[in-house]
Amino acid sequence: MGSSWKMEARSALPEKMVTDSHEIAGILDECSTVFLSFQSDPAPYVVPLFFGHEPGRLYMHCGKKGAKIDLMRANAQVGFSAATTVRIVEGKVACAFSARARSVAGMGRARIVEDEGERRHGLDLIMRHYASPETDAGFSYREESLSRTNVIAVDILRMTAKRIGPAAE
């Protein structure tokens, strides 16, 4: 990932931390949704979004109006998190249950992408995230859809990644 952000080891055990940029990209590749958190009063406002990613940046899309846009314009500092499919590992007693997954969490600065080239680039990254691997051609977009769509870029400032549970994959 890019050099403008940094990995942080917060409270996770060192053996659970993921610091390799290729493995972090792989975690994001496996995630179907990113949860984006905006500062709001009286509590944070969190929404699940489809996304695409590249080193140091996440892209999402949304409508031209709404709570996300209003909150982002008021304060561009956002938080995000995503996790791979969580697999529950049953134990013999309640406290022996665990889970296996990999996750990322971080913070960044969100902005509405104005440049048309970057807008299409962000949308292409989102489409590639969900399209089958056989879909390698460029994507085309209907102009009426583009006119109703904002593309949000989150420039990652800090990010952590970790393995959850024993032998998490």
Residue pair 88/99 in contact (Cβ under 8 Å)? The answer is: yes
Q: What is the dihedral of CA 143, 132, 156, 114, to 10 degrees?
A: -10
**Residue type (1 letter), 133:** P
Residue pair 121/113 in contact (Cβ under 8 Å)? The answer is: no
Looking at residue 134, what is its pLDDT?
75
Mean pLDDT, residues 116-131 taken together: 94
Tens digit of pLDDT for each residue in 48-85? 999 999 999 999 999 999 999 999 999 999 999 999 99
Looking at residue 11, what is its pLDDT?
52
Looking at residue 132, what is its pLDDT?
83
The DSSP symbol for 17 reads B
Query: Between these two residues, 166 and 94, which has the higher pLDDT value?
Result: 94
* CATH 2.30.110.10 applies to domain 6-164: yes
Query: Between these two residues, 16 and 5, which has the higher pLDDT value?
Result: 16
SS3 state at 125: helix
